[in-house]
């Protein structure tokens, strides 16, 4: 249970970092993190491996399966709920991205 409680927010964070790394025209789902940085990018690339090692350390073989099952569930929850989050931030963020690109 503890592994799951650690894994779910971790997958959520990885998902948000991933969304943030997408170019604005691809980013249909709003995301409230600050603008993408190399640090965030390395987070979403290294995150799954860290989560895998952590879950194996905490729950052994059970942890590996927990890692595998929790990823799609958290992804779907993020994918479905994010479009309903308030849009205010997103517009601002998209605008700032657009401005910075120019």
Residue ranges binding other proteins (CB under 8 A) = 1, 3-4, 15, 18-19, 22, 26, 28-29, 59, 61-62, 65-66, 68-73, 75-76, 78-80, 82-84
Question: Toward other proteins, which CB reaches closer, 43 or 78?
Answer: 78
Residue 68: both structure tokens together? 């595998």
Contacts of 18 (CB under 8 A, 6+ apart): 44
Residue that has been written with the tokens 């879950």 in this structure: 55
Question: Toward other proteins, which CB reaches closer, 4 or 33?
Answer: 4
CB 4 to other proteins: min, Å: 5
CB 87 to other proteins: min, Å: 11
CB 95 to other proteins: min, Å: 20
How far is the C-alpha of 91 from the C-alpha of 29, rounded, in Å? 11
How far is the C-alpha of 20 from the C-alpha of 32, rounded, in Å? 8
CA dihedral (79, 81, 84, 87) positive or negative: negative
CB 32 to other proteins: min, Å: 14
């Amino acid at each position: 249970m503890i592994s799951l409680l650690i894994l779910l927010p971790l997958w959520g964070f990885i998902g948000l970092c991933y969304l943030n790394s997408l170019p604005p025209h691809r980013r249909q789902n709003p995301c409230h993190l600050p603008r993408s940085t190399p640090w965030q990018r390395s987070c979403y690339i290294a995150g799954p491996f860290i989560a895998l090692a952590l879950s194996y350390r905490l729950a052994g073989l059970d942890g590996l399966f927990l890692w595998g099952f929790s990823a799609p569930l958290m992804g779907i929850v993020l994918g479905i709920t994010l479009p309903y989050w308030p849009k205010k931030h997103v517009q601002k963020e998209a605008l700032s991205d657009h401005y910075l690109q120019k």
